[in-house]
Amino acid sequence: MGSEEKHKLAQAYVERYGIKVENAHEIDALAAAIKAYQHYKNKLEQVDERLKRANEDLFPDDVKDLVIRGYSITRAIKTLKELRVPGEPAVILSASNREERMREIIEELTNKLMLEREKVMRLRAVNRELQLKIRDLEVEIKGLREALEKSRSEQIAQIRREREYQRLVEEINSLRNRISELEAQIEIYKRTINQLQQIGDLESREGLTLLKPIEAFTREGLDKAFRLYGIKVGDIVFILDPSGGGRTTAERLAKRGVRAIILRGLMAHEALEVFERYHVPVIPADKVSIRWIDGLPYANPNEIKRIIKEGGIVKQSSEHEMLRAILEEHLREIKEQK
């Protein structure tokens, strides 16, 4: 029982019967006795009813004493009957003996109560120890969780660093490749600059001008020539292979503002129409004295001026006549073979 329950039981009994209790031990003893009585109350009432109903002349407290000791009501009555002296009341215990037994019972219950109190105190001490252990474990668990979270954060940071490192390595490799490409372009530009310097020296020393070559009269051929030789306004170009070029290709070259075109081979009449419209003279290569120096074609600009002035350029009409002459010659050869 808790302290509050003990006080309630003892206080009710004290107020009802006017009993005085001197200290906490007496309160505990009284409460224990009341609790025990409440436990056996039904059994004790059954004893009174049984004796009254059976019209037995046994002393009720004797029967109740045996019942409390663990006897059944029937066995207690039988036992007392067997001990009774014929012609005398069945009194086994005197009043003084009953009081003595009650004191023994109270003392026994008090001892049990003290033992239970000690047990409760031990359990409370164990509970406190367990509570402290639980708090220590909670602190340890919290520390482990923090350590785990820190380790997880460090792992995530490490993964991010590795990814960033990999990204930087890839970026460095890409930049190195780009540097290699740029260095290769720089070497090309250096060679081109050297060539242009040599061309400038040659032009100033011998009075020759570079015929900037266009290997193929196509979009790709023009792109290559524009990139390598920087064809600009006033330049003279040398088309080595004019086949494949039409109106669009011719307009692109004419819009560069070239001064003249040296032509080796035949050009489509659509391209010739474009050059005539832009007033760009087209000169056959066999009419110009071309000098190849270090793999590049050169010519005297005065000679080119003279050829243009004398009308030695390719026109659309002359192109048609040339084609017609070639066809007639080819037909004549076929007839002769027949």
Query: Residue 197: is its pLDDT beyond 80?
Result: no
Report percent pLDDT > 70 for the chain.
Answer: 83
Compute the distance between CA of residue 303 and CA of residue 315 in angstroms, rounded to an integer: 19
Q: What is the pLDDT of residue 186?
A: 84
Instruction: State pLDDT tens for residues 204-253.
Output: 556 788 899 999 999 999 999 998 888 999 899 999 998 888 899 999 99
Rounded percentage of the chain residues whose pLDDT exceeds 90 = 14
Element holding 76 (H helix, E strand)? helix 73-83
Q: What is the mean pLDDT of residues 269-294?
A: 89
Q: Under a CB-based contact definition with an 8 Å cutoff, are residues 315 and 291 in contact?
A: no
User: Which CB contacts under 8 angstroms, 24+ apart, belong to 42-51?
Assistant: 43/67, 43/73, 46/73, 47/73, 47/76, 50/77, 51/77
Report residue 23's pLDDT band, with 50, 70 and 90 as the boundaries: confident
Q: Does residue 33 register a pLDDT over 90?
A: no
Residue 332's pLDDT band (boundaries 50, 70, 90)?
low
| Of residues 277 and 190, more confidently modeled | 277
Q: Among 120-134, 223-237, 308-322, which is the least confidently predicted range?
A: 308-322
**pLDDT recorded at residue 78:** 84
Q: Which amino acid is at 172?
A: I
Say what the pLDDT of residue 313 is: 75
**Sequential DSSP letters for 6-69:** HHHHHHHHHHHHT----SHHHHHHHHHHHHHHHHHHHHHHHHHHHHHHHT--B-HHHHHHHHHT
DSSP string spanning 247-298?
HHHHHHHHTTT-SEEEE-S---HHHHHHHHHTT--EEEGGGS--EEETTEEE
pLDDT of 29 reads 87
- Position 205 scores a pLDDT of 55
Q: Closest Cα partner for 69 from 89, 44, 50?
A: 44
Calculate Rg over the CA atoms of the chain.
66
pLDDT tens track for 156-173: 888 888 888 999 989 899
Q: Is the pLDDT of residue 196 over 90?
A: no
- Per-residue pLDDT of 68-91, as tens digits, reads 888 888 888 888 887 765 555 544
Cα(2)–Cα(112) distance, integer angstroms: 15
Say yes or no to pLDDT of 26 above 90: no
